[in-house]
């Protein structure tokens, strides 16, 4: 779950009462700031009286979150069978929240291979090392029925964040938007998020360097990304939340010293429920992989319980065309398999936080897409993955509202 989802959840759990309290607190704070500004050379102003019920909310809170995806990958090609234990993701992050959760910040670390792809030059060989994935501060302004969040720092990509809020299969790999190189998961910059009517519509605007989290800014241009998320249909099925998600994105961007164009436009539709999830995303790039070419990506996924929570089935399909002007330049990945949610008495109530996947993945390329022109079969491979996806969260203050699945 993204940190924004946590924040949103924390904000929402208060409901209207909390919102009223927060508004009152904001008014009190404004009054306090005004008093400070007008009497800064005189005696310190008296602390404005807190509205009833604001005391607990005003105390600093902390949320610690971690995720770990690890397991065994076996790869089969015509030339070799190879298997290795891998840690696909190891992340640890913390959010500090102050002032009734209206200001705060997140620092999140992730594990990466120090030598990188194809490199022999790493830290102590090719060790897994931790690096900053996100580091940002935020301020939130609730103006019912609108809430505005401002973020600054190494901020999450607003599109990845939006789509993943309705995507439950991160343990099997990122969405095509990320894995296909269309978007990086975080970047240096700032963003504004506007929530309307309790999440019915959400708009985000981000202005970032455009080089992702691996590089400093390489050109003077900035990426501007706009996303819109709509939740037009939310309902309760068998006492559990379900709903439809519509996402849209447009990015005007550039990358590298040469300011190569790096624009994106895309959309996604997803259905989420306690039993079945499904979705599809379509992204089109103008400027891809440092070249002024057009590329497209289509990702689709579906998963659902056969015997809840013990057995579920999953299928994913990713299709990437790195240059739309070329014939047969597409690559595709088909994933299918089963999962089980480990439900033990000692574990937290959300079983999806301890999920074991067993899937088969088939990768193939079109005649004009493989690493050897004219020999697409060289790119073909089959992968068998056994992956344990573990996620956990700890809060310094107890939640005072029922758990929402995603927000």
Partner 1 sequence: MERHWLINLLELLVPLLWLGCTACVDLDGQDRRAWLQETLIEDNLALLARDPATTGGKFLKMGSSPYNLFRGTVGQFVRDSAQRGPGYLPTRFGSVEGSRVLLVGDPHLENLGTFRAASGELLVDFNDFDASGYGPWILDVRRLALSVWLTAALLPEDGVDAVSPGELAASVARGYADEVSAETDGSPPLRVRAGEHGAILDDLFERAEANGDADTALSDYTRVVGGRRVMVFGELEAGPVEGVDGDVVRAPPVEEQRLVEAHLAQVGATLIASIPQDQLAVKGVSRRLGAGVSSYPLWRYYVLVEGPTQAPDDDWLLEVKETSDPPRRPGLAVHPGRQFASNGARVVSSQRALQERPDADPLLGCLDLGRLSFRVRERTSYQRGLAVDRIVERVGDGRWSVADLQELATIAGRLLARAHLNAPTLHGGDALLIVAADLGGDRDGLAEETTRFVEVYGPQLLTDHQLLNALLADEGPTLGYRP
**Least spacing, CB of residue 228 vs partner 1, in Å:** 8
CB closer to partner 1, 104 vs 376? 376
CB of 67 to partner 1, least distance (A): 24
Interface residues toward partner 1, by CB under 8 A: 75, 77-80, 82, 84, 115, 117-121, 123, 125-126, 216-218, 228, 230, 232, 246, 248, 250, 255-261, 263, 265, 267, 284, 286-287, 289-294, 322-324, 326, 329, 365, 367-375, 377-381
Residue partners of 301: CB distance under 8 A and separation at least 6 = 167, 169, 277, 278, 279, 280, 314, 315, 316, 317
Strand partners, 245: 270
Cis check: omega of the bond before 145, within 30 degrees of 0:
yes
Q: At what angle do helices 15-38 and 3-13 cross, to 10 degrees?
A: 100
Q: How far is the CB of 367 from partner 1 (least distance, A)?
A: 8
Q: Which is nearer to partner 1, 274 or 293 (CB)?
A: 293
By C-beta, is 54 or 249 nearer to partner 1?
A: 249
Query: Minimum distance between the CB of residue 219 and partner 1, rounded to whole angstroms?
Result: 8
Q: Which residues, listed in sequence order, are joined to residue 184 by a DSSP beta bridge? A: none
Cα 231–Cα 235–Cα 240 angle in degrees, nearest 5: 120
CA distance 387 to 70: 5
Specify the residue, 295 or 390, whose C-beta has the smaller distance to partner 1. Answer: 295
Q: Which is nearer to partner 1, 349 or 371 (CB)?
A: 371
Neighbours of 20 (CB within 10 A): 15
Task: Please report how close the Cβ of residue 74 comes to partner 1 at its closest, in angstroms.
Answer: 10
The strand ranges marked E within 55-143 are 61-76, 81-98, 103-113, 128-143
Residues in the chain: 407
Pick 54 or 320: Cβ nearer partner 1: 320
318 — phi, psi (to 5°)?
-120, 135
Provide, rounded to whole angstroms, the least separation between the CB of residue 99 and partner 1: 34
Q: How far apart are CA 110 and CA 93, in angstroms?
A: 9
């Amino acid at each position: 779950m993204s940190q924004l989802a946590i924040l949103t959840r924390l904000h929402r759990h208060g409901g209207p009462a909390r919102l009223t309290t927060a508004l009152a607190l904001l008014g009190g704070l404004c009054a306090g700031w005004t008093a400070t500004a007008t009497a800064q050379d005189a005696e310190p102003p008296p602390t404005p009286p807190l509205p009833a019920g604001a005391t607990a909310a005003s105390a600093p809170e902390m949320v610690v979150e971690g995720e770990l995806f690890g397991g065994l990958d076996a790869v089969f090609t015509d030339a070799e069978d190879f298997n290795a234990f891998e840690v696909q993701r190891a992340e640890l992050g913390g959010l500090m929240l102050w002032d009734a959760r209206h200001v705060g910040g997140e620092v999140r670390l992730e594990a990466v291979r120090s030598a990188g792809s194809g490199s022999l030059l790493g830290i102590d060989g090719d060790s897994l090392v931790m690096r900053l994935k996100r580091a940002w501060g935020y301020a939130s302004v609730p103006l019912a029925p609108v809430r505005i969040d401002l973020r600054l720092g190494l901020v999450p990509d607003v599109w990845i964040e939006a789509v993943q809020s309705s995507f439950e299969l991160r343990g099997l790999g990122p969405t095509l938007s990320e894995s296909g190189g269309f978007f990086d998961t975080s970047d240096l910059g700032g963003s504004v998020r506007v929530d309307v009517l309790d999440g019915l519509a959400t708009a985000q605007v981000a202005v970032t360097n455009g080089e992702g989290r691996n590089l400093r800014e390489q050109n003077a241009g900035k990426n501007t990304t706009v996303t819109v998320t709509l939740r037009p249909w939310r309902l309760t099925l068998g006492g559990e939340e379900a709903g439809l998600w519509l996402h849209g994105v447009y990015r005007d961007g550039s990358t590298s010293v040469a300011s190569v164009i790096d624009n994106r436009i895309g959309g996604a539709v997803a259905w989420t429920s306690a039993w079945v999830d499904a979705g599809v995303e379509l992204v089109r790039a103008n400027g891809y992989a440092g070249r002024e070419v057009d590329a497209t990506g289509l990702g689709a996924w579906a998963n659902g319980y056969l015997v809840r929570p013990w057995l579920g089935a999953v299928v994913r399909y990713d299709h990437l065309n790195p240059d739309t002007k070329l014939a047969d330049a597409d690559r595709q990945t088909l994933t299918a398999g089963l999962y089980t949610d480990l439900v033990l008495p000692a574990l937290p109530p959300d079983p999806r936080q301890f999920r074991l996947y067993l899937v088969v993945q088939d990768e193939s390329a079109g005649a004009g897409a493989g690493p050897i022109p004219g020999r697409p079969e060289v790119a073909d491979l089959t992968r068998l993955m056994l992956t344990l996806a573990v996620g956990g969260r700890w809060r310094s203050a107890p939640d005072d509202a029922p758990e929402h699945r995603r927000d």
